[in-house]
Amino acid sequence: MNKRNKKVSVGIVGVGHLGKHHVKHLTAMDNVECVGFYDIDEARATVISDKYNVKSYDSLEALLIDCDAVTIVTPTDTHFNVASDCLTAGKHVFIEKPITKSVAEAEQLLTLANTNKVLIQVGHIERLNPALVPLKNYSISPKYIEIQRLAPYDVRGTDVPVVLDKMIHDIDILLFLVNSEVESIDANGISILTDSIDIANARIRFKNGTIANLTSSRVAQDHVRKTKMFQQDLYITIDFLLGLTEIYRVLDPDEPDPDAIQDVPFHYGGKTKRIVYEKPDLPSFDALKAELENFTNSVKGSATPIVDGQAGKNALELATNIHDLILEDLH
């Protein structure tokens, strides 16, 4: 049978807060055989097995015998060991973000995947946020980007500093938007509730002149996930949480804009121009489901990972550099 028509057999490692959603989506996909999952918490395993009518395996080794690909949804400090076992067994892996706790570990996983001729995909889910979809219709070359990601305290994710848990989502998007190397970083942060950094700010200058200012907190009162991009004649604001993308453009008097909701002339220096406001309709889809479809289709060879292992490592590398600078600044 053609590889593309064959069902991909997938197993899940870790069925906690996020892993249960992997179970829900993978058990419902037509082109996937979800063989089951492995979780070290037996009580949790029983609940999820009963709820989704899916097999719970007693060990990772037993799960790996039955599948071609694995999604790893365990705490970050376990990603390296679990993924190493899966890759060594010749399984394709989808690893939730961040890829690993350290860049050296991420490099080892990339080498293992290469040796075993299997793929790594990383769960930087914001890359599939429908709010990013309209960007493909514009020529994006921001001069300045302002990014905020704030969340109330939740013990989940505190196994790593806020830069590796929250800011890394925005770092991945930033590296996708700005096609240039980092020139310099200025960063600071503080610990509030945990032993590691809970609030962080980084100002990144790229070699092409783009500046990005990122703030992340896991001790905020409310959730905020906003990105604002400024460039010549174009301002884009994205609310990842609400799913809202708004675009302001400066146009000449006779330039058409069929998507304009508001069209306001202004006068400056003897010239007349217009500011037009657009609010594109966003497609409606579940980002996690789309991400897992991208993974299973990539395993089948009919797609390529939207965020591959290298992109996951690049995001981790920049996050680690930022975090190291914050620690240096504190000492």
Residue 19 lies near ligand NAD (rule: CB under 6 A): yes
3-state secondary structure of 284: coil
Q: How many residues appear in the chain?
A: 331
Contact track, ligand NAD, 129-168, x by CB under 6 A: ---------------------------xx-----------
Residue 243 lies near ligand NAD (rule: CB under 6 A): no
Choose, by CB under 6 A, the member of 73, 131, 163, 306 that binds ligand NAD. Answer: 73
Place of tokens 């969340």: 151
**Could you tell me the smallest distance in angstroms from the CB atom of residue 27 to ligand NAD?**
17
Choose, by CB under 6 A, the member of 9, 11, 34, 38 that binds ligand NAD. Answer: 38
Residue number of the CB closest to ligand NAD reads: 16
Residue 40 lies near ligand NAD (rule: CB under 6 A): yes
Choose, by CB under 6 A, the member of 10, 32, 67, 125 that binds ligand NAD. Answer: 125
Kindly provide the b/e burial profile for residues 219-244, where b requires at least 16 CB atoms within 10 angstroms of the residue's own CB: bbeeeebbbbbebeebbbbbbbbeee
Residues 6+ away with beta carbon under 8 Å from 285 = 130
Choose, by CB under 6 A, the member of 16, 130, 243, 280 that binds ligand NAD. Answer: 16
CB 45 within 8 A of CB 15: yes
Residues 6+ away with beta carbon under 8 Å from 255 = 274
| Helices 19-28 and 287-300: angle between axes, nearest 10 degrees | 60
**Could you tell me the smallest distance in angstroms from the CB atom of residue 138 to ligand NAD?**
25
Choose, by CB under 6 A, the member of 9, 49, 71, 76 that binds ligand NAD. Answer: 76
Beta strands across the sheet bearing 120-123 = 32-38, 8-13, 69-72, 92-96, 120-123
**Could you tell me the smallest distance in angstroms from the CB atom of residue 141 to ligand NAD?**
28
* Helix (H) / strand (E) containing 255: none
Report the residue number, 21 or 205, with the smaller CB distance to ligand NAD: 21
Give the N- to C-terminal CA distance of the chain in Å, as an integer: 61
Residue 13 lies near ligand NAD (rule: CB under 6 A): yes
Residue 298 lies near ligand NAD (rule: CB under 6 A): no
**Could you tell me the smallest distance in angstroms from the CB atom of residue 306 to ligand NAD?**
13
Residue 96 lies near ligand NAD (rule: CB under 6 A): yes
3-state secondary structure of 50: helix
CB 121 within 8 A of CB 294: yes
Residue 75 lies near ligand NAD (rule: CB under 6 A): yes
Report the residue number, 141 or 158, with the smaller CB distance to ligand NAD: 158
* Part in contact with ligand NAD (CB under 6 A); list of ranges 68-76, 195-203, 242-250, 256-264: 68-76
Nearest to 188 by CA among 179, 177, 197: 197
Rule CB under 6 A: which residues touch ligand NAD?
Answer: 13-19, 38-41, 44, 73-76, 78, 82, 96-97, 123, 125, 156-157
